[in-house]
Amino acid sequence: MRVWVERNQRKAGATWSTVWEEPSGKRRRKTFASRHDALDLRDQLQGTNEGGPPPKPQTAQIRTAGSVGPSSGNGLPLWRDFIHDFWRVCGAEVSPSTLSRYRLVVRHFEQDCGPITMDQITRDMALDFRQKAMERPRGKGKRTLTRSAVNLEMKVMRRVINHALALGLVQDNPFSGMKRIKETDGLAQMIVLERDEIEAFLRHCRPDFLPYFSLLVRTGMRRGEMYRLSRTDYLRREGRLRINNIKTATSSLDRYRYFPVGRRLRDDLERRLSELSGPYLYPAKGCNWLIDNLRATARKLAASGQLEYFKTNLRIHDLRHTFASHFLANGGDLRTLMQLLGHKRLQTTERYLHALESRTLQAAEVIPY
């Protein structure tokens, strides 16, 4: 009997279907929310070699009885037996790279908590693990994990214990309901480039990275919005650039916002139209390509004395901060900036009311007495 698994893409999320052909040639299908459930049914059908109706799935019972090994004295399985079953299930649902990240997080949990049984995973243990994660050094250096990395570890552990919850091995998930750690300190971590520093970047950027830097610092758009720019989004006759509000759009009425195209931006866009033949003006070149080029240029400028050393930690989103700060410092109003950045609330835009560092240093000369 021929049996296979198909992925179904839906607006609410992907589902998985087990499809098989009966001896009469009739094709049948059963859909699941999890890929692992679909694979379980496929394995059962391949084992029976019959074309009858599929057996009723008993996923939790199969995983508990067939996969989790010897138990501790109180009848609950040891952590190593449970995690072995989790890798079997998770390996069928995520990519190999994601699975390797999961294994690293679980290894950290095992190092911090030691050999345990399932009933020993409590709320205090989860909080203690998060605290140790915030103090854990990153690599060989002395710097600790970033806050986003700590939040990712909590997310992974929440999924691990949710698997135990589905098997009935625990009563609740101590990692659920834990608030995410605030990943930024607001304006304290905001880096704004001065005008001479921007010009230095434009002179020393690599040729293939220069168009990306120029667009981000001159429009303040988000990275994902830049990747979605197509040839048809440049409205040449109207002198505007149509930007997809991928983060703040709530309906078709605010799906797009329009950015006025000035002389320098127009020259950049015309050059991109002549150089590229694909549908996108600024196609993605890898997940870390932008930040690697940005910081490599920043380090080169810092070595030559054209950039403050602390600004070598520049982020892609700081180019958005730079645009907004220069817009306000040169006479732009807050309401217009809100429209250009695609914010939904004016309070979000008010964070850019701080002056540039150069303007702040000149404040001592403003008062005449």
pLDDT digits (tens, 9 = 90+) for 296-353: 999 999 999 999 998 998 989 899 999 998 998 888 889 999 999 999 888 888 877 7
List the chain domain ranges. 3-57, 69-183, 188-365
Q: Which fold has domain 188-365?
A: hpI Integrase; Chain A (1.10.443)
Write down the architecture of domain 69-183 according to CATH. Orthogonal Bundle (1.10)
Q: What is the per-residue pLDDT across 87-114, written as a single tens digit (0 to 9) for each? A: 888 877 777 788 888 888 998 888 887 7
Strand order in the sheet with 15-21: 3-8, 15-21, 27-32
Strand segments, DSSP code E, in the chain are 3-8, 15-21, 27-32, 234-235, 240-244, 256-260
The pair of three-digit structure tokens given for residue 208, joined into one six-digit string: 């293939």
| Token couple for 273 | 């139209």
Question: Can you give the pTM of this predicted structure?
Answer: 0.54
Minimal CA–CA distance to 343: which of 249, 215, 218, 227?
Answer: 249
Examine domains 69-183 and 188-365 and report if their fold is the same: no
Q: What does the alpha-carbon distance between residue 171 and residue 123 come to, in Å, rounded to a whole number?
A: 12
Pairwise pLDDT comparison (68 vs 245), residue with the higher score: 245
Strands 27-32 and 240-244: unpaired
Q: Cα separation of 353 and 30, whole Å?
A: 56
Count other Cβ atoms within 10 Å, centred on residue 183. Answer: 12
